[in-house]
Amino acid sequence: MSPFKPKFFTTIKNYSKDQFLGDLTAGIIVAIIALPLSIALAIASGVSPEKGLHTAIIAGFLISFLGGSRVQIGGPTGAFMVIVYGIVTEFGVDGLIMATMMGGVMMIAMGLLKLGGVIKFIPHPITTGFTSGIAVTIFSSQIKDFFGLTTEALPAEFLEKWHIYIGAFHTLDVTTVIIGLVALGIIVFWPKRFSKIPGSLIALVVTTLIVQLGNLDVMTIGGKFGELSSAFPTPQLPAFSLEKMTMLIGPAFTIALLGSIESLLSAVVADGMIGGRHRSNTELIGQGIANVASGLFGGIPATGAIARTVANIKNGGTTPVAGMTHAVVLLLIMLLFMPLAQMVPLASLAAILMVVAYNMSEWREFISLLKSPKSDVTVLLITFFITVLVDLVMAIEIGMVLAALLFMKRMADVTEVSELTRDTAEEDDSFTPKFDRSLLQRLPQHIQVYEINGPLFFGAADKFLEVINEVDGTTQTMILRLRNVPAMDATAVHALKRFIKACHKHKIKILLSGLKPQPYEVLSKAGVIDTIGEEHIFEHFEAALAFAENRHYELASKPFTPV
């Protein structure tokens, strides 16, 4: 089955007039929501305001047209703000465009390789940790504009940024703070009475009118960026170089990974609301194409936006046409009204992003995770603090490595290697009374039995090797009971070979019982089956014990078949 099958072409086959009216209404409302967010996110990311709209228009259209979700709305999101600001600070806008396009190519490759389902294996403490960390970073980045501080150029680093804030807090502008508080109040309280029109748009309109009619000395978008262009951008490739691309691999991978995670999480949320099922690999390919196109037109990274997707569903959107409509409406707004955006106060945009940061923080989920096992709490806190204090790239890398190591430790803790003796039969209730108990109770002194429970892999192989040092000098036969070993890896095979060598040195015969298909295949390919001898491998423990006792039970002569 092809990994690329956009939902648009599936839903359009039986498209109706009622669906179009619902999609049109939803698309217009979502465009109104996306307008101030796109501008605010662009400014906070260190690029000019129109680039946010370019991204929402181009990438937003393609994500809906080529994606794997019926109702996904794409565009710039808060998750990218931190990484984008860092790239712009270090590599400039050209570097950002290159990283965006490289990230898009990586997402396309992930979709073609059918890795859409793999994203779900990223542990929840990692996603919560870096999402909460990004929220804190977004909030802190808006302090200057919200309070009207006069500062030097702000660094990307969290602690250095706050050092500058503290030193410049005496420059606080009361008028700017009032405008910011008015905007914040409208954003918070407006939806409680009027849910159809987004509070962020009302906040921008009201505060802009207050500033312009009152002729207030408050910094606006025009005051910072000058005249804004309403022209649609033309495609242009940046000056690619192998050296720069090598330096941007890390940030590009972060864009790809972050975009993939957020878009698929958004698609899952949407599935739950509409009772549908998205195509994860198609979604990744569509997101990748959208990011390549966004970079080609000078935009910033884009992904599925959960809040806008939810708004789309609640306002009647049922097919990708709603997302495409939202992009077209934004294009019309940009072409007709972009110059008016110059009058918007920066404090109002800062208020919008502070609310975005609050909603993104998942602080309730963060607090609940602090009650989890210590290993999960460790992953959560390390990912969070590295995201805030260092950077997102390192947070993801260290978080994934740490989570993998802790997972291996847990799996190793689950795997047990224990000796079965006559005492075991009397003390342990896990044995079948009519079968295993009676067998172990007649166990001769010269036969040792060890049972392994759990997957036998490199994290647990050391437990198996400890058995070598416990071999009794009087032992003539060693039975390894492997009925509860579902899987085995190369390290476990190496440990078993060392065990066999040690047993052969002491003239101890090795018998295996209860081998599952996967371990049998692994041992067969490694030549261990030939070393032990097929005749020394048994389907049941009773047959192995009978063979060891030199009794000619019928079970002992049966050919082995993996169970």
Ordered domains of the chain (ranges, CATH)? 16-406 (no CATH), 415-557 (3.30.750.24)
Task: Assess whether pLDDT exceeds 90 at residue 136.
Answer: yes
Average pLDDT for 479-498 = 89
pLDDT in tens, 331-389: 999 999 888 889 999 999 999 999 989 988 888 999 999 998 888 898 899 999 998 99
Q: What pLDDT score was predicted for residue 559?
A: 53
Least-confidence region, from 15-24, 51-60, 171-180, 257-266: 257-266
Exposed e or buried b for every residue in 343-378, given b needs 16+ CB within 10 A? Answer: bbbbbbbbbbbbbbbeebbbeeebeebeeeeebbee
**Which residues partner with 29 through β-bridges?**
none
The two three-digit tokens of residue 266, written as one number: 């958004």
CA angle 223, 225, 229 (to 5 degrees): 120
pLDDT for res 62 = 97
Torsion of CA 122, 127, 129, 134, to 10 degrees: 140
Range scoring the smallest mean pLDDT among 1-5, 13-17, 426-430: 426-430
Task: List the strands of the sheet with 509-513, edge to edge.
Answer: 416-420, 447-453, 477-484, 509-513, 537-538
pLDDT of residue 332: 95
Point out which residues pair with 478 in neighbouring strands. 448, 510
pTM of the model: 0.77
State pLDDT tens for residues 245-270: 999 998 999 899 889 988 988 898 89
In this predicted structure, what is the pLDDT of residue 552? 38
pLDDT above 90 for 561: no
Q: What is the pLDDT of the chain when averaged over all its residues?
A: 87
Angle between helices 346-360 and 199-213 (to 10 degrees): 160
Instruction: Give the per-residue pLDDT at 549.
Output: 81
Of 210-219, 243-252, 286-295, 455-464, which range is least confident?
A: 455-464
Q: What is the pLDDT of residue 446?
A: 82
pLDDT at 416 over 90: no
The pLDDT of residue 43: 92
Phi, psi angles (nearest 5°) of residue 452 = -110, 125
Q: What is the pLDDT of residue 556?
A: 40
> Tokens 């994203």, residue?
119
pLDDT in tens, 86-133: 899 899 999 999 999 999 999 999 999 998 887 767 788 888 888 899
Q: Which residues contact 550 (CB under 8 A, 6 or more apart)?
A: none
User: pLDDT (tens digit, 9 = 90+) per residue, 315-345?
Assistant: 999 999 999 999 999 999 999 988 888 999 9
